[in-house]
Structure 1
Amino acid sequence: MSFPSPATSLSSIPANKVRLVCLSDTHGRAHRLAVSEVAEGDILIHAGDITMYGIYKEIRQFNDWLGQLPHPHKVVIAGNHDEVLDPLVCPRPQDPHKLLTNATYLQDQQITLYGLKIYGSPWIPIFNSPAFSLPRGEALRTRWRAIPDDTDILVTHGPPWGHGDLTRKGYNVGCKDLKNEVTYRIKPKVHIFGHIHEDDFIQLSNSLLY
Structure 2
Amino acid sequence: MRWNGLELFGSPYMPRFHDWAYMKKREQLDLVWQSVPDDVHSLIAHGPPKGILDVTHDIGTHGLIQVGCTALRRHVDERIRPKLHAFRHLHNERGLSNYGMFTRGATSFINCSCCNLAAKLKNNGVVIEL
TM-score, normalised with respect to structure 1: 0.46
Residue ranges of structure 2 left out of the alignment (5+ in a row): 58-62, 95-99, 110-130
Q: 1:129 Cα deviation (Å)?
A: 3.1
User: What amino acid sits opposite 1:183 in the alignment?
Assistant: D
User: What amino acid sits opposite 1:158 in the alignment?
Assistant: G
Residue ranges of structure 1 left out of the alignment (5+ in a row): 1-110
* Partners of 2:93 and 2:11 in 1: CA distance: 20
* Partners of 2:89 and 2:108 in 1: CA distance: 17
CA offset digits 1:5-24 (Å, max 9, x no partner) = xxxxxxxxxxxxxxxxxxxx
Q: 1:164 Cα deviation (Å)?
A: 1.3
* Partners of 1:203 and 1:129 in 2: CA distance: 29
Whose helix proportion is higher, 1 or 2?
A: 1
Structural mapping, 1:32-51, within 5 Å: none
Identity, % of aligned pairs?
Answer: 35
User: What amino acid sits opposite 2:10 in the alignment?
Assistant: G
Q: After the TM superposition, list the runs of 4 or more consecutive aligned residues in structure 1 that deviate by more than 2 angstroms.
A: none
The equivalent position to 1:162 in structure 2, one of 27, 36, 51, is 51
Structural mapping, 1:39-188, within 5 Å: 111-137=1-27, 139-168=28-57, 169-188=63-82
Q: 1:145 Cα deviation (Å)?
A: 0.4
Matched, 1:202 2:101: yes
* Partners of 2:79 and 2:105 in 1: CA distance: 13
Aligned length: 99
User: What amino acid sits opposite 2:24 in the alignment?
Assistant: L
Structure number with the bigger relative contact order (C-alpha 8 A, sep ≥ 6) is 2
Match of residue 26 from structure 1: none
Alignment root-mean-square deviation, CA:
0.9
